Structure formats: structure tokens, C-alpha cells
Amino acid sequence: MAKPAAPDFHQLESLGEDIKRYVLSILGNDLYPPDPFRYYSGLAYAIRERLIRMWLATQASYYDSMSKRVYYLSMEFLPGRFLMNYITNMGMEDGCRQAAADLGFSLDDLAEEERDAGLGNGGLGRLASCYMDSMATQRIPGYGYGILYDYGLFHQRIVNGWQEEEADNWRRHGSPWVIDRVEHLYEVKFYGRSEAYTDPQGVLRYRWAEADTVMAMPCDILIPGHGGKHVTNMRLWAAASSTGFSLRDFNQGDFLGAMQSKIHSENISKVLYPNDEPIQGKELRLRQQYFLVAATLRDIIRRHKKSGPGFDEFPDQVAIQLNDTHPTIAVAELMRILVDEEFLGWDEAWAICRRTFAYTNHTVLPEALETWPADLLGRVLPRHLEIIAEIDRRFLLEVAAAHPGDQGRQNRLAIIDPASRRVRMAHLAIVGSHKVNGVARLHSDILREKVFPEFDALYPGKFTNVTNGITPRRWLLQANPALSRLITARIGPDWTTDLDRLAELLPLAEDPDFRKDWRAAKRENKKRLARYVLRKSGMGINPDTLFDVQVKRMHEYKRQFLNVLHVVTLYNRLRRDPHLAVPPRTVLIGGKAAPGYFMAKRIIRLITAVAETVNADDAVRSRLRVVFLPNYCVSQAEKVIPAAELSQQISTAGMEASGTGNMKFALNGALTIGTLDGANIEIMEAVGRENIFIFGLTAKEVEATRAAGYDPGRRVAADAELAEALDMIGRGYFTPSEPDLFAPILDNLLRHGDYYLVTADYRACLEAQDAVNALYLDPEAWTAASIRNTANMGFFSSDRAVLEYAKNIWNIEPLGE
């Protein structure tokens, strides 16, 4: 019998009817008046249905192939909006545009109705989402595991120039993309005590007694790979109270008490912690981490048992990637399951753990290395603390054997710091994993040479590098239709899954017609951004100026302040010489500050103050504008990045682990002004030294400068422009009614040694900006450099990155077609 034709999962003909049916049946709404949010939702449900069918087919193929799978454990995912991503990856764009038009809408307007899923803080969460897209596209069998926070990263509003935070109740109007699997609840335990007992064979064993329980409900979000044939998912856990527990209280007549404990349990997945560094010592955060880990391991083990083999084959079937130290308690949890519940011997269990886990480090900031007070950990997870202590004891015997008599080394490497009695999660992750990777070459070198040299000596070959990547689907194909069309017209569509193909654009940098088209695409994007800024802030910006952009979390090491010093200096130069031969500029800065980060919030206020002054000054208005973009998020990035011409990546060298925004800008043809930090170095090597503006101290020079006792005062005294800019900020030039507002920023710089070396890099930064101005005044040369940036970014695809993980760390083969 002939094989039946493959079903057409996309079914475009019925799309319009499906949308209307969903508006009625799911939303329970009228079709009239035609409300865009209703039609967005109807379209979303229609897409979701098609996606689910393809997902079911993919999962069946996983089971058929019995392939090893990777589990990417992350406390954060930052997918942003889904609709256009699904439509682009499934190749349904034309059909959806038509269906929307038939219903009287533009697809782009419907897409604007969706709220971002902001379940992450910044780079780390967005990286996880790029990797989901690439795993699905490259057919690497695996899943993302995380938490379904009720409230994502706060919404930032600017009120009187200051950041204000608003709760991000992102699912208030429902979310068509989240599939609740109410039938698969797991119990997660907390508190109680560890109890020793003797089993019938007379063996001493341990169990977890008198624990509280919380239920974990899996919620799936589907992830279609490009081409739409392979659909995977991330599974996010939502906390629910365990009914048994509250029922008992209820039966005793304590209804409100029962509700209280219900609320207490459900708090676990209530809100994402809004810091881009770990929060030290918050019990709820530890409970969140364990909640993710416990529910995920239960799911992994259930699936493993279902597929047949025993535990000795576990690491051949399962790879677990720890996205930073946040899920590291998984090492102790897997040991607990194997030893206490599956009754494996310690050594056997430990060998399984080490072969299963791998750990990615994302930061070297000393304040960001996560530790938990042993007391707190022992109270919340009593058995885990015992297990960690045992792992530590055995590990330190290893250290002692390698370096007899070196007690100092043992203390430095110990998992539980003997002095502070804190559990060092990075040490647990390193000891419990077979591979540890940094996220850019420089970062991985620093990890090996500076942060963990004694671990590197103990475990040669364990430390490795996988330079981060970004998905070209979202960050070029979808976010930049103008440029994508142009590229595809010249080199065909294969670059979307094979980004090295962009190199075919290189010769076109010499072609004046192509350069003209390239400029036209950029101009279209700049106009689109100008409309957006006008809509959001009422401010007009001119698309015929140089768009100079810095968007990322606000942090001292990222040095938004250095950007401000450049703006103030440019302002001063323009006031002195209105005919200065520089291109007119629009400086756009955006980013959220952690709510408790005093200095970062002050810097936002400084930016808004400088913007108010500069934009109100008729003498420079047409030559310089400054905009603070409120509420930087993924969907905003999709509008900002394609419009940027200059990308600011100016962190103090040695401090930005990789950066991924830097890659998105360069891929979209922006030229980078940046330091030799993180992945900037590799970007420079790829695009060529002459197509990027590099300045400032190197990581080694930063270290030496600090070690020599850097004196910012001398530097400032020797640089009149720097002194002038600092003086204006310090004297209240930009905030006359509150002259002392920025004194804390200046104190940090001038009295506390300028740790981030802003004053040290100031002059070099200005010189690099002079070079930017000179090149921009030659549009043909600028455009050629822009094309060369895009053409050379193939390496930075997240497809390359996940394939490296699969080969060198996970030992997983991508599935065939």
C-alpha cells in the first residue's frame, strides 16, 4: 500500500475560520467590534493547534530513536513574544498576513498585542531561549526546564526621570502559548529532618521525614525549529499547594490557616528575582531553586524508567546542563535519589552524577559567586546538607592526596567554606560535573587562570569554552525583514540555518548598488524605530542622524557612565563650536536597574537629566539628542537593534563574561565601539580590526592598573575635558534644583578609586568616537564596513554553539531528517 501523504499541519486555507472560531469558543467573545487583542488571541490558538500536532510527531520520533537527550536547567528563560517567532519558523508568514488582512488587521499590529514572556533578567535567560531555538532547529533532542513565574521581570516606567518598577502580571489576560499539564503533578518536599534507619538487610539508610510538601505542575511551551518540522518544548513548573496538607487543616476547622499554607506554597513560583546577580541568602530563592531541580529530576527519572534501561546507563541517556550555579542543588538531589531511594552505593551514584552533569559559568564578578549559609540550607533541605558534607569530605581527601599537608588549599577548595560555613555552589558544580565551560574565550581563560586555577590543576581537561551564540531566526530573519529580504535576494535563504553562508556577502561590500540597498534597509529600520519612540515617549528623533545605542542591564561594570561622559563631552564641544565637523547623533540608552541597586538607579537618573538638558538646548538640538528608552525588553530589542548603527560594548575589560547583545548588533550591520572584553575580542577577530572601534585597557592591563593603586584624581587633573564633564555632573549643571544628586557617583569615582576604571578609559573612548565620526562622514566606507560586519558573523550563530555543546559536552548526535 502506498504511504499516505504527509499531513499538512499548516492548513492555511482554514486559518481565517479557525481564528474566528477560537475568538468565540475559547475567548467567549463576540467577533464585533473587531478588537485586535481578541483576534491576536484567536490567531495564537490557531497556530498553537498546528504546533501541537507537530510536537506530538516529534516526541514520537524521540521515543522511536531512543536517543540521548539533554536537559537544560535554567532559572531563567527570556523568550519575549512567541507569535511572530512561531509563524516565521513554521514558514506561515504569508498565509498569516493574508488571513489577518482578510479579517481587517495587519499581522504586525496583531503581533503587538502580545505581552513579552519576561521570565529572565538579561543575557543568561535570553541565551537559554536562543539555545532552545537552535536545539529545535538543529534537531538536538532535548528540553529546557525552568519555572513558570506568575510575575516576570518588572516593567520599568520612568517617572520624573527615575526608574519605577511595576509588577509584570504577564498572564493576566491568559497565555495561549502555555499548555498546563494538570495530570502530571509531582510532590516536592521541604524542611523536616533526615532520619537514619536500618533496612531489612541490616543496611544503614536515610530518609526524609516530617517534610512539608508542595505540588509542582508542569506547563509546556512549544518551541518549533526553523522549517517547522521539529518541535520541542520547554517545561516550566508552577507551584500548587498540596491538597492533602491544606485539607487536614481544613477538617480541623482552620480554613484560613489552610489557605495560608496554600498561599505559602504557591509563593514559590510567584515572582522572578529581579537581580542579574544572585541574591545572597534569601530562603524563598533557595526554595525556588530546589523546586525546579526536584520536579525536573523526577520527570527525567520517570522518562528514563519508562524507556527501560537501568541506572548504570543513565548518563548514556541523559545529559544535564546547569545554567550557572542556580540549579546546582541538582547534584545533591540526584545523589539523594540514587542513594536513598534507588539504593545504589555511594561510589556508583557519584560516578553517575559526574558523568551526567555539566556546568556553565556566566560571570566572574566576585559578588556574583553564589553561596548559601549551611544553616539555612540545612533547615530547608536537611538531607541535602548531609549529602553535600559527605561529597565535600570525600573530595577533600582527594585534594589532600594530591597535595599532602596543604591545608590552605583544602580550605580554598572546600565546598563548605570552613571559615564562613557557607556552601560554595560553584565548587559543588565543578566537583559534581564532567565539564565546566565559560561563555567566551577570554572568560574561559580567566576562569582557568584566575578564578579556579586550583580546580583546573586538579582536573586537567575539565574546563573548556563554548563561546555564546544568538539565533539568526529571531535576531535577523524576524527582527529585520528589510535586511533579510535583501540578503536572501542576493545569496538565497540558506543563511537562516547556516549562518556562515553570510560570508557570500563579502564581495558585495565593493558594489555601490548593493551598498545603496543596504543603506535603504537600515534607513527603513531607523524610521520604524523613530515611529516607535514617538509613540512611546512623544519624542521625535531624526532618522538622518547617527543612531548610537547602548541597551543592556544597568550595571557599573557595563559603564553606561562612560557613555554619558562621552555625551557630555560632545555636548560641550558642540556648544563651543556649533560648526564642529561631526555627524549629528542620536544617543539611545535603555536598560533596567535591579530595584535595590542604588548606583544603577542614580545613573538612569543622570541619563534622563542629561537628556532633558541637551534636548532642550536650541544651540545643539539638531546635532545631538539623547533618549532613554523605558522598559528595555526582548520585543523592544527587536526594534532597536536593527536600527542601530553604532553598538556600545564598553565594559571594563575582564568583567563582561561574553555579551550577546554585541553579537545581535553586529549581525544587523551596526559597527561596534567596544573594549577588549568578553566576546568583543572574537567579534573583532571575525569582522576585522578595521571594521570595529576598539579602545581601552585590556584585561591584563586592568589587573595591573588596579594592582599598582590607580589614582583617578591624577588622571582627571591631566584631562581638561574630563574634568569639565565631571564638574558639570557634580555641580548639578543637569539638575540645578538638586545640585548634589550625582555626588554619590562622583564619590565612587574620585574617592573610592574608580574600580571600573571609567576615568582610565575616558580619553581612549573619545578618540575611538573621533574615528567613528570620521568614518560616518564617509557613507560609502561606513556601509562597506557595515556589510563586512554582517558577512563575518556566521560563527556567532547559536546553532554553532549548541552543536559544540552537543559534541564536546553532551555527547549527543543531532537526529537525522
In the bound state with ligand C3B, the residue whose beta carbon lies nearer, of 80 and 122, is 122
Q: Interface with ligand C3B by CB under 6 A: which range of 123-131, 333-341, 452-460, 587-595?
A: 123-131
In the bound state with ligand C3B, the residue whose beta carbon lies nearer, of 715 and 800, is 800
In the bound state with ligand C3B, the residue whose beta carbon lies nearer, of 560 and 658, is 658
Q: Interface with ligand C3B by CB under 6 A: which range of 19-27, 116-124, 147-155, 450-458?
A: 116-124
Q: Which residue is nearest to ligand C3B (CB)?
A: 123
* Residue pair 801/138 in contact by the 8 Å Cβ criterion: no
Instruction: State the sign of the Cα–Cα–Cα–Cα dihedral 47, 50, 53, 54.
Output: negative
Residue 659: CB minimum distance to ligand C3B, A: 5
- 785 scored as a contact of ligand C3B (CB under 6 A): no
Q: Interface with ligand C3B by CB under 6 A: which range of 153-161, 406-414, 657-665, 754-762?
A: 657-665
Task: Supply angle C-alpha 496, 485, 587, rounded to 5.
Answer: 95
Given 496, 652, 660, 790, the catalytic residue: 660
In the bound state with ligand C3B, the residue whose beta carbon lies nearer, of 232 and 468, is 468
Q: Which long-range contacts (CB under 8 A, 24 or more apart) does 288-291 make?
A: 288/75, 288/147, 289/75, 289/326, 289/327, 289/329, 290/188, 290/190, 290/329, 290/333, 290/380, 290/381, 290/384, 291/147, 291/188, 291/214, 291/216, 291/237, 291/239
In the bound state with ligand C3B, the residue whose beta carbon lies nearer, of 141 and 659, is 659
Rounded to 10°, the helix 779-791/512-537 angle is: 90
Q: Interface with ligand C3B by CB under 6 A: which range of 253-261, 518-526, 658-666, 710-718?
A: 658-666
Closest CA to 556 of 699, 745, 732, 704: 745
Count CB-CB contacts under 10 A for residue 1: 3
In the bound state with ligand C3B, the residue whose beta carbon lies nearer, of 277 and 406, is 277
Catalytic site residue 807?
Answer: no
Q: Given phi > 0 = left and psi -120 to 50 = alpha, else beta, which region is 340?
A: alpha
- Per DSSP, the three-state class of 604 is helix
Kindly give, in sequence order, each residue whose CB lies less than 8 Å from that of residue 715, ignoring residues fewer than 6 positions away.
722, 759, 760, 762
Residue 487: CB minimum distance to ligand C3B, A: 25
Contact pick of 241, 658, 675, 680 for ligand C3B (by CB under 6 A): 658
- 363 scored as a contact of ligand C3B (CB under 6 A): yes
- 123 scored as a contact of ligand C3B (CB under 6 A): yes
Residue 229: CB minimum distance to ligand C3B, A: 29
What span, in angstroms and rounded, lies between the C-alpha atoms of 566 and 563? 5
What span, in angstroms and rounded, lies between the C-alpha atoms of 418 and 404? 18
- 657 scored as a contact of ligand C3B (CB under 6 A): yes
Secondary structure of 501-567 in HEC code, one letter for each residue: HHHHHHHHHHCHHHHHHHHHHHHHHHHHHHHHHHHHHCCCCCCCCEEEEEECCCCHHHCHHHHHHHH
Cell of 317: 541517556
Given 553, 585, 601, 602, the catalytic residue: 553
**Residues forming beta bridges with residue 165, ordered by sequence position:** 156
Q: Interface with ligand C3B by CB under 6 A: which range of 32-40, 119-127, 283-291, 374-382?
A: 119-127
- 439 scored as a contact of ligand C3B (CB under 6 A): yes
What span, in angstroms and rounded, lies between the C-alpha atoms of 93 and 106? 12
Q: Interface with ligand C3B by CB under 6 A: which range of 23-31, 120-128, 724-732, 762-770?
A: 120-128
Cell of 166: 511595576
Separation in Å, CA 651 to CA 115, 260, 363 = 31, 46, 13
The size of the interface with ligand C3B (CB under 6 A), counted in residues, is 18
What span, in angstroms and rounded, lies between the C-alpha atoms of 430 and 389? 15
Residue 437: CB minimum distance to ligand C3B, A: 10
Contact pick of 324, 556, 754, 761 for ligand C3B (by CB under 6 A): 324
Cell of 612: 532633558
- 78 scored as a contact of ligand C3B (CB under 6 A): no
Contact pick of 137, 437, 471, 660 for ligand C3B (by CB under 6 A): 660
Contact pick of 274, 469, 678, 696 for ligand C3B (by CB under 6 A): 678
In the bound state with ligand C3B, the residue whose beta carbon lies nearer, of 574 and 697, is 697
**Residues forming beta bridges with residue 585, ordered by sequence position:** 546, 624
Given 558, 559, 585, 800, the catalytic residue: 558
- What phi and psi values does residue 241 have, to the nearest 5 degrees? -70, 150
Show the binding pattern over residues 270-289: x = contacts ligand C3B (CB under 6 A), - = does not: ------xx------------
What span, in angstroms and rounded, lies between the C-alpha atoms of 639 and 92? 21
Contact pick of 27, 127, 132, 216 for ligand C3B (by CB under 6 A): 127
Show the binding pattern over residues 461-490: x = contacts ligand C3B (CB under 6 A), - = does not: -------x----------------------
Catalytic site residue 660?
Answer: yes
Contact pick of 16, 42, 118, 122 for ligand C3B (by CB under 6 A): 122
In the bound state with ligand C3B, the residue whose beta carbon lies nearer, of 206 and 755, is 755
Contact pick of 638, 645, 656, 682 for ligand C3B (by CB under 6 A): 656
Catalytic site residue 362?
Answer: yes
- 677 scored as a contact of ligand C3B (CB under 6 A): no
Residue 352: CB minimum distance to ligand C3B, A: 28
In the bound state with ligand C3B, the residue whose beta carbon lies nearer, of 674 and 678, is 678
Residue 552: CB minimum distance to ligand C3B, A: 9
In the bound state with ligand C3B, the residue whose beta carbon lies nearer, of 368 and 487, is 368
Residue identified by cell 518541535 is 231
- 558 scored as a contact of ligand C3B (CB under 6 A): no
Catalytic site residue 592?
Answer: no
- What phi and psi values does residue 734 have, to the nearest 5 degrees? -90, -10
Closest CA to 37 of 99, 117, 114, 116: 114
Considering only residues 404-433, where is the footprint of ligand C3B by CB under 6 A?
none
Q: Which long-range contacts (CB under 8 A, 24 or more apart) does 366-371 make?
A: 367/277, 368/277, 368/278, 369/278, 369/325, 369/424, 369/425, 369/426, 370/278, 370/280, 370/324, 370/325, 370/326, 370/328, 370/425, 370/426, 371/280, 371/417, 371/420, 371/422, 371/423, 371/424, 371/425
In the bound state with ligand C3B, the residue whose beta carbon lies nearer, of 140 and 439, is 439
Separation in Å, CA 774 to CA 512, 576, 777, 781, 789 = 20, 19, 5, 10, 18
- 124 scored as a contact of ligand C3B (CB under 6 A): yes
Residue 363: CB minimum distance to ligand C3B, A: 4
Residue 793: CB minimum distance to ligand C3B, A: 16
Contact pick of 481, 659, 669, 794 for ligand C3B (by CB under 6 A): 659
Are β-strands 186-190 and 193-198 bridged in parallel, bridged antiparallel, or unpaired?
unpaired
Given 552, 601, 605, 625, the catalytic residue: 552
Residues within the interface to ligand C3B (CB under 6 A): 121-124, 127, 276-277, 324, 362-363, 439, 468, 656-660, 678
Q: Cite the active site residues.
A: 362, 552-553, 558, 660, 664
